[in-house]
Structure 1
């Protein structure tokens, strides 16, 4: 919990600094759009977090986000080259495809004992290739489909604009479901056990294969749900959508306390990590410094080309911090174990002599 509190403080300080730099940061339009972006990232970051907690990795989740949107556009968009089926049918097929991707990867990892990194890396490329084939290397537009209202409409309208976009509502449902699974179900306990010590989990009678497959299915399903939101938000889909999204998900999960070693993390931390990632992304565009140059008022802004430099640095800092925390914890355990050995067992009290008293 201390780590979540620390990251929350970092998030508050970042927001305060950005507001001082540019008061428009807390303007209604920017706050609504930022919360929408946090929600869409948080949906698939939750799936990534579950996989990381079990000691795995899912590099295909960004491609699953893109594939979901492409399939919805191809099946249900009224545009040229699309099939024009009802929207519910397109969403159902797209989500089913996302689940199948997770199931296939989970079975490859568990049945053939393959490395998750290799399987999901291959899955990332295959799924992206499927998206490119479906889109025929082009862009599929939703036009004026009512589907676009999913991301751009919401609750509590003020001035004709929704203060709470529907993706935020969806994310809160996913967040609540993830928190419930992790902290209040047997499956959640098994996930932590699997990530903490796989061999011990197997010897304790846990069906490791079923838990691991379920985790990858949930991760891909979360990617599919996020893909529905992104498709509605962007309004047009191509194979380019989803590229690099897996890095944002990994960074959000690690910043939120999910150790890449497995066995650690929680839903609240993933929410905080997602918020930090999107505030950084938004802050690159919003941050500014006003100064005077020869009596002329000027504004200095961050170069948008620095985006990946900053995001990559954040990922490295998070991983280094995670490693340092584990080193300190191991040293504390070793010190406590050494102190316990030096103290030794307490001498047992001798029984009273016979006939005493």
Structure 2
């Protein structure tokens, strides 16, 4: 829990600094929108966390988000070239397609023993191509469908705005389910064992292939749920939606304590990492410094073009920190092992009896 506590402190200090620079950071509109963005990132970052904890990687989750939204728009939108079926048909169909992507990738990785990076990279491009074909290279709009209220509506309305958007409610349910699976079920223990040492997990009798496939199905399922939320939030879908989202998911999971080596991470850490990513993203737009220039009050703001520079630097710092922590832990374990051998009593063997050997 020390890493989670440390990242929580960083998050609190960051929020306090942004509020001091710009009081609008804690304004109702910005808080509601930021929590919505944290929730939608956290939904699919949770699935990515499952894969990383089990020692894998899923580069296709962004494309799965886009595919889910495009299929949902194609099936349930009433626009031109759309089918116009009810949402209770469109949503399950789109989520089912997303889970099939995860199942197919998991089987390729486990049955053919292919590298997860290569399989999910190919899956990312293939799924994005399917989205482009379904959308015919254009945009599918939901118009004024009541479906748009999923992302923009919520609970506890104040001044016409919902203080708790529905994506936050969905994320809290997924967070609770993810925490339960990871920390209180046999499947969760198997995921940690698989990520920690695959060979040892196999020798201990764990069905590693089934566990690994389940992580990719879970990842794609959370990507599908996030895709439904993004479709409602944006109101229109194209193959461009979801591009680069896999990088945010990986960054959120790594910042939250999921080691890319596997075997480490927690649901709470993924929540904190997702919040850090979105607060950084929002803070780049909100941060400001007031100064006087010749008696004229001016405001200095961060250049929005620095967004990827800052986020990339944060990811690199997180990876370097993870490496330093692992090196320090390995040195401590080696030191303890050396001390324990030094303190063990030395065995004194009796001399051979006379007339023997």
Give TM-score, length-normalised by structure 1: 0.96
Instruction: Figure out how many residues of one structure are paired with residues of the other and give that number.
Output: 348
CA deviations on 1:72-102 (whole Å, 9 max, x unpaired) are: 0111011112111111111111000000000
Match of 2:161 in 1: 161
Distance in 1 separating the partners of 2:76 and 2:303: 39
CA deviations on 1:233-259 (whole Å, 9 max, x unpaired) are: 000101110000000000000000000
Match of 1:36 in 2: 36
Q: Give SS of 2:138's match.
A: coil
Distance in 2 separating the partners of 1:130 and 1:309: 31
Q: What's the C-alpha RMSD, in Å, of the aligned pairs?
A: 1.0
Gaps of 5+ in 2: 349-357
C-alpha deviation, 1:11, in angstroms: 0.1
CA deviations on 1:220-240 (whole Å, 9 max, x unpaired) are: 000000000000000010111
Match of 2:293 in 1: 293
1:147-186 to 2 correspondence within 5 Å?
147-186=147-186
Q: Give SS of 2:258's match.
A: coil
CA deviations on 1:28-73 (whole Å, 9 max, x unpaired) are: 0000000000000000000000000000000000000110000101
Match of 2:210 in 1: 210
Q: Give SS of 1:224's match.
A: helix
Q: Give SS of 1:292's match.
A: strand
Distance in 2 separating the partners of 1:123 and 1:305: 30
C-alpha deviation, 1:345, in angstroms: 3.1
Match of 1:316 in 2: 316
C-alpha deviation, 1:121, in angstroms: 0.3
C-alpha deviation, 1:286, in angstroms: 0.3
Give TM-score, length-normalised by structure 2: 0.96
Q: Comparing 183-192 with 304-313, which one deviates more in the overlay?
A: 304-313
CA deviations on 1:108-135 (whole Å, 9 max, x unpaired) are: 0000000000000000000000011111
Distance in 2 separating the partners of 1:144 and 1:104: 35
1:1-357 to 2 correspondence within 5 Å?
1-345=1-345
C-alpha deviation, 1:346, in angstroms: 7.5
Distance in 2 separating the partners of 1:333 and 1:145: 59
Q: Give SS of 1:144's match.
A: coil
Distance in 2 separating the partners of 1:285 and 1:63: 26
Q: Give SS of 1:205's match.
A: coil
Match of 2:351 in 1: none
Q: Give SS of 1:298's match.
A: strand
Distance in 2 separating the partners of 1:312 and 1:123: 24
Q: Give SS of 2:71's match.
A: helix
C-alpha deviation, 1:160, in angstroms: 1.4
CA deviations on 1:291-328 (whole Å, 9 max, x unpaired) are: 11111111111111111111111111111110000000
C-alpha deviation, 1:344, in angstroms: 1.5
Q: Give SS of 2:239's match.
A: coil
Distance in 1 separating the partners of 2:88 and 2:122: 30
CA deviations on 1:195-227 (whole Å, 9 max, x unpaired) are: 000000000000000000001000000000000
Distance in 2 separating the partners of 1:197 and 1:237: 41
Distance in 2 separating the partners of 1:130 and 1:308: 28
C-alpha deviation, 1:347, in angstroms: 7.7
